[in-house]
Amino acid sequence: MVFQDFDKISERRRLEREQKFKKRVTIAVITLFVLLVIIAAGIFVIVSDNTKNSTKQEKKAPQTQESAKQVAHIQRVIKSVCNATTYKETCLSSLKKEVKKNPSAAHPKEILKLAIEATNDEIEKVLDKASSFKFKTPREKAAFDDCIELIENAKQELNDSISHARVDVRKLTKNEPELNNWLSAVMSYQQTCIDGFPEGKLKSDMEKTFKAAKELTSNSLAMVSALTSLLQSFQISKSNRRLLAKEPNSSSMDKDGLPRWISHEDRRMLKGAARADAGKPKPNAVVAKDGSGDFKTIAAALAAMPAKYEGRYVIYVKAGVYDETVTVTKKMVNVTIFGDGSQKTIVTGSKNYADGVQTFRTATFVALGEGFMAQAIGFRNTAGPQKHQAVAVRVQADRTIFLNCRFEGYQDTLYVQAHRQYYRSCVVVGTIDFIFGDASAILQNCLILVRKPVENQQNIVTAQGRIDPHETTGIVLQNCRIEPHKDLVPAKAKVKSYLGRPWKEYSRTIIMESTIEDLIHPDGWLPWEGDKGLKTLYYAEFNNKGPGSKTKARVKWQGYHVISKEEAKKYTVQPFLQGDWITDMGAPVHFGLY
């Protein structure tokens, strides 16, 4: 009985063990199944993500490759263009910074535009930095006030440059002279600002403040030439470039040979000027001291000019001596002022440096508005030789013409400050640096009269202010006469007189086809200070005559040249001033050499 019970218990235990085993197997199978499902799902997700990423990469790959190629191409263009600049490291860092700032705008065609924008950004910073300086004297504060005006002019002309800076074959070739003109003026404005400060720490600080801006402007100028040369590699012939630059078209001229874009008023005036018997053009305003005109002063006539006048605004100034300071502002474009003769209609003043006025502000007459023309008027500064710098006329306006005018002063008579200027059949009278500045200026058929200075002073006709080798500026005297004023004649053997001296490192002056009388020292040219600029200046003479024209005893400086006919042609009206605008304004002009 006992053994029978034991067997029953053993059987029951066996069955229980089997059930437990089956249960474990079932759980294990279910668990394994769940794990397999999870793993499969995971694999699906991973594969799916990889597939999506792979698809995205396939879509992006061509763009990335294309972008990499574009960046590499831009970097090559930047490097190539910067190699042509004077300040290569500044060029590379500024352009890379601009490209990084706006990669979507980075394109080889935009390189020049980016360079000029970098210059504009730096100019913006200059005033902020300079505003923190402490000005201890009225002269320092006056110099800073001049800077504000000059920097505004620089910003305006940089913006003009930016709008013309896209590197398109046709556009760049056409706009190259304008870009060179504007950027050279920007260089001049910056240096004029610095020059206004007295020697000392403040002036040195201003020089440092402008350092980056001047380097960037120089680089922009260099890039204009470099990119133009690059375009030449695409086999654009010189003749095609001239056609692109001028884009002549027979339909652009009317039956009278005048451009069709000229307004009716300008057309009437120019056609009248072309006929000797036509008389004077009808003026918009008449100035007369005796009250017989519309105004008694020139300043009042200019102030009454309509703000948005279209065409050429003509002011006739009757004979008389007008003691006033006159400014043709930048907003007063295409103004003509004519008088009854350069020794009958005279504008006079006496502001001067010795009395505490900045040289920049001493001018009796200032021309800022583009397309200004003066005819048959005299301009004087009567401060005298003891008062040092005393300007009769300061000219900043682009495309400026002076015909049959007279400029009288002593030191710094005629300030050719900036842009393109043409003087025809004028008289310029002075002593020290009396034709000076950093414009592209040609004086043609002019009489240059050197007068008697104070004791122990020397006479210097020109002091050109080019500060950078890439500037397209310079002073050219062509077919002029350089002779002593009547007050110097008795003393000319005692007073040394020279053709010029280098106001700045890259000073450029050319005297050609002119008559030079015996007042000029055999050296011809005078150093400014030590050897400053003697290797980097460009002084040239060509085909001059008269006793003072002999070049055998001239200075032996590296920068002095007696040039060939081919070289002289570069400084004639058309290549140097792009002078079609002179004939468009109705002025007589001689193109080429005589």
- 504-532, pLDDT tens digit by residue? 999 999 999 999 999 999 999 999 999 99
Quote the DSSP letter at residue 198. Answer: P
Query: How far, rounded to the nearest angstrom, does the alpha carbon of residue 520 sit from its chain's CA centroid?
Result: 33
Mean pLDDT of 147-156: 93
Per-residue pLDDT at 12 exceeds 50? yes
Q: Are 539 and 551 in contact (CB under 8 A)?
A: no
114-128, 140-154, 238-252: range with lowest mean pLDDT? 238-252
pLDDT computed for residue 554 by the predictor? 97
Label each residue of 474-501 as H, E or C.
EEEEECCEEEECCCCHHHCCCCCEEEEC
Note the pLDDT of residue 396: 97
pLDDT, mean of residues 543-551: 97
Query: Going by C-beta distance under 8 Å and a sequence separation of 6 or more, which residues neighbour residue 548?
Result: 482, 516, 517, 518, 519, 520
How does pLDDT run across 303-338, given as a tens digit for each residue?
999 998 989 999 999 999 999 999 999 999 999 999
For the cut 50, the answer to whether the pLDDT of residue 547 exceeds it is yes
Phi and psi, residue 562, nearest 5°: -100, 110
Rounded to whole angstroms, the Cα distance separating 554 from 513 reads 17
Q: Is the pLDDT of residue 242 over 50?
A: no
Rounded to whole angstroms, the Cα distance separating 572 from 478 reads: 8
Q: Whole-angstrom distance between the N-terminal and C-terminal Cα of the chain?
A: 153
What are φ and ψ of residue 543, in 5° steps?
55, 40
CB 491 within 8 A of CB 450: no
Phi–psi pair at 397, nearest 5 degrees: -65, 140
| pLDDT band at residue 165 using 50, 70 and 90 as cut-offs | confident
Structure tokens that stand for 516 in this block: 């030079």
- In whole numbers, what is the pLDDT of the chain averaged over residues? 84
In the chain, the amino acid numbered 195 is: D
What single letter denotes the amino acid at residue 558? Q
Q: What is the pLDDT of residues 561-571, one digit of tens each?
A: 999 999 999 99
pLDDT, tens digit, for every residue of 64-121?
665 666 667 777 778 888 888 999 999 998 888 877 776 665 566 678 888 898 999 9
User: How many alpha carbons fall within 13 Å on the CB side of residue 32?
Assistant: 6
Q: Please, which residues bridge with residue 346 across strands?
A: 321, 378
Residue 453 has pLDDT above 90, yes or no: yes
> Looking at 266, 398, 433, 468, which residue is catalytic?
433
- 563 vs 22: CA distance, rounded Å: 115
pLDDT confidence tier of residue 19, bands split at 50, 70 and 90: low
CA distances from 461 to 447, 483, 497, 501 (A): 12, 11, 8, 8
- Type and span of the H or E element at 60: helix 2-82
The yes-or-no answer on residue 468 being catalytic is no
Q: Give, for 427, the enclosing helix (H) or strand (E).
A: strand 427-430
| Residue 394 φ then ψ, to 5° | -115, 125
The region of weakest confidence among 23-27, 29-33, 448-452 is: 29-33
Contacts with 86 (C-beta within 8 Å, 6 or more apart), sequence order:
215, 218, 219, 222, 468, 469, 470
Which pLDDT score is estimated for 173?
74
* Rounded Cα distance, 403 and 584, in Å: 15
Provide the strand spans (E) within 115-212.
none
| CA within 13 Å, CB half, 496 | 11
Which residue has 């000027």 as its token pair? 273
Main-chain phi, psi angles of 499, to 5 degrees = -75, -30
The winner for highest mean pLDDT among 134-138, 248-252, 292-296 is 292-296
